[in-house]
Amino acid sequence: MSEDTSDTDVETIEAETLKEQIDAGEDVTILDVRAEDEFDEWHIEGDSVEIANVPYYGLVDGLDEEDLERIPEGDPLVVLCAKGGSSELIAEMLVEEGRDAVSLAEGMNGWATIYEYEEVETDGDALVAQYQRPSSGCLGYLVVSGDEAAIIDPLRAFTDTYLEDAEELGADLKYAIDTHIHADHISGVRALAEEGVEGVIPAASVERGVTYADEVTNAEDGDVFEVGDTEIETVYTPGHTSGMTSYLVDGELLATGDGLFIESVARPDLEEGDEGAPDAAKQLYESLQERVLTLDDDVLIGGAHFSDSAEPAEDGTYTAPIGELTETMDALTVDEDEFVDIVLADMPPRPANYVDIIETNLGQQEADDEEAFELELGPNNCAASQDALTSDD
């Protein structure tokens, strides 16, 4: 990047503020100056968002009339890059040209630090909250009963958040539970275990080569974890991975990990590749039909991810009752052969860095906090393509 000698003062906007504007339906105009491939992989979206991608390398030497015509007008125009440096320079150049421009603080890295807390409306006695990471669609679940708490599918980047939130709710974090060996983010189970929390991973995932299995609890199908007066029951639901496990919270919400989402089902190829995907898809079908859809229709499904097409419930969470999903998702009502065909058709690209992320979560390689954060940037892509999964009705 060329040296910045400008005296122009450029304002910045925090990621949380931008997210609030988008959530409120305010018109937001964004100039994303990252490279085209980075933009195509993941970018900020929203019903009220107008966004244009004009790469930084074509603008850094100066803005001509053609450049200015490609750049949308904003009130203000939010300029963003990966980490905030390049966008600040381009925003300065635009301000000097008379444009109303601001720079997104810390760029898409800042966007990835947003982690929102929404309480799930249930009829149970426990408080159940859903954590939402809009940059990647990752979801986690905090369960609080009395003075005890558990977190399901924690992210390492937000270790302190879970501990602080539990404390604010008058509880000690007792369990940190993973549904499976994740391929899209670095798990927080081991980081929380270092803080004195009991780590829990599915026993069925250990044979994949988990190096720290003796340091955490290995959950078998049917095991029950008590949190205050609430029970969290282990429900083995393989398919997405061989160790994929769901957890039934207070009989009210099934945390399904990457097995079932409110708008899609799991992709079956991340563990065994394309060759093993058909058998994994059959296993997923059995899990859904025999272990998940046999629960009461009013049990809420809460997956570990949501996509841009997912519609939140009235309480703001990405949850839906089983009965509603069986009415709207075609893949849940077809026979096994058709299910496999649907799931294997047109699968999206595999998550970025998924091999390194899996090996880190297995404990087979190390990543410091900064490396872990960089590895998991971008979309999760852990679901099958939803184009053929849901009904238009």
- pLDDT of amino acid 348: 83
- pLDDT of amino acid 393: 47
Higher pLDDT, 2 or 196: 196
Is the per-residue pLDDT at 5 higher than 50?
Answer: no
Token code pair at residue 378: 């971008």
- pLDDT of amino acid 3: 42
Is the per-residue pLDDT at 27 higher than 60?
Answer: yes
Higher pLDDT, 6 or 331: 331
Strand partners, 173: 149
- DSSP alpha helix (H) spans, 255-309: 273-287
Nearest to 161 by CA among 177, 147, 137, 142: 142
pLDDT in tens, 148-197: 999 999 999 999 999 999 999 999 999 999 999 999 999 999 999 999 99
Higher pLDDT, 350 or 29: 29
Confidence of residue 2 (pLDDT cuts 50, 70, 90): very low
Mean pLDDT within 116-126: 96
Nearest to 180 by CA among 227, 228, 235: 235
Token code pair at residue 364: 């087979």
Token code pair at residue 225: 């974890």
The one catalytic residue in 22, 33, 81, 254 is 81
Q: What is the DSSP letter of 347?
A: P
pLDDT in tens, 211-243: 999 999 999 999 999 999 999 999 999 999 999
Catalytic: 138?
Answer: no
Nearest to 131 by CA among 5, 316, 330: 316
Q: Coil, strand, or helix at residue 239?
A: coil
pLDDT in tens, 344-358: 987 888 888 999 999
**What own/partner pairs with CB < 8 Å and gap ≥ 24 does 210-216 have?**
210/181, 210/362, 210/363, 211/362, 211/363, 211/364, 212/363, 215/190, 216/189, 216/190
**Domains by residue range for the chain, with CATH:** 12-111 (3.40.250.10), 116-375 (3.60.15.10)
Pairing of strands 320-321, 253-257: unpaired
